[in-house]
A and B are shown apart, each in its own frame.
Chain A
């Protein structure tokens, strides 16, 4: 089945220790998104890619970086995690300019910062 996969599902890191979260998709969608979601809050868009065209949200901290080496894979790097970065990180894909612009989500990576 076509899907969005995220690894790991749970990640524990120490304050200030870099961490990388990964996302892969078999849907062949050209748009990929990274969201941060904290408990009972709306998903917050960090970045998105149209193909290799990178789009950074204005309020995404510099501590967060992303890479998309090819259509299928996308990575989220947190260079120096702080306690406030503990959250669920969701990767999603969609087809560009499609209606309804349905986004397909991976299961998420729950990040704990000690």
Chain B
């Protein structure tokens, strides 16, 4: 079966760094994406990893290890507006996204 695991909830402090993990088991792998979703809102694209290694976009970066089947999303210099759910999604052999349930990130002052 296809499975994506993420922690349900994490808490971090404003200005700090947080790392959110995603592990996956899918039929085929054609890349992993991270999306941000605020309460009551729609997912918005953050990053994509097609190959092993680190991708950086501003305060956000994502690391992928295909051999170990995981990705980490790193958020630096946390701001209150970063309070949201972060969803991991893997593109499988059918070229469809398999979604995780998301990690709810709570930022405290």
A interface with B by C-beta (< 8 Å): 40-45, 48, 90, 97, 99-108, 110
Known: A102-B33, A102-B45. A97 touches B87 (CB 8 A): no
Smallest beta-carbon distance B21→chain A, Å: 16
Main secondary structure of the interface of A (DSSP, over half): loop
Tell me which of A42, A102, A104 contacts B87 (CB under 8 A). Answer: A42
- Give chain A residues whose Cβ lies under 8 Å from the Cβ of B41: 107-108
Are B4 and A42 closer than 8 Å at their CB atoms? yes
Tell me which of B4, B8, B33, B102 contacts A100 (CB under 8 A). Answer: B33
Residue of A whose beta carbon sits closest to that of B39: A39
Smallest beta-carbon distance B71→chain A, Å: 13
- Give chain A residues whose Cβ lies under 8 Å from the Cβ of B31: 99-101
Are A105 and B44 closer than 8 Å at their CB atoms? yes
Residue of A whose beta carbon sits closest to that of B44: A105
